[in-house]
Amino acid sequence: MVKQIASATEFCWPVRVYYEDTDAGGVVYYANYLKFMERARTEYLRQLGFEQDKLKQEYGIIFAVHSLSIQYQKPAVFNDALTVSAEIIDRGNARLTFRQMITRDSDETGLCSAEVTIACLDADKFSPARIPQPIKEVLHGS
């Protein structure tokens, strides 16, 4: 679902914590938050009409994480219902930066937040590539 917040568009994706997501302490393993965020970014692009495999086939590009900064505030545990948000906060010719947050649905507690920069890459050479114009047009409207 996409919801309007002020002048920005924030995409939200629901996630349920499964037993396999947790570590020996019974909390979500730290790297799994990154997987949840990846799913939200993928679903955001899908909702905008861009399937990852089609981007490679039609435009010869892929998106890959270039860098990220993440802060963990509280743990999620087995069976928690979570909401993962993804909001584009910066756009370049060959990159997008997202602000992402994960909250627990039952009490709206913020669990972690991150800024994730993804790079547009030539799918064959794995070198930087410009984001194709049709994609830019849709993203600038988001």
Active site residues: 23
Q: CA triplet 63, 89, 92: central angle to 5 degrees? A: 55
Q: What is the DSSP string of 80-110?
A: -EEEEEEEEEEE-SSEEEEEEEEEETTT--E
- Residue whose token pair is 């590009």: 61
Distance CA 82, CA 21 (A): 13
Q: Is the dihedral of CA 3, 12, 64, 30 positive or negative?
A: positive
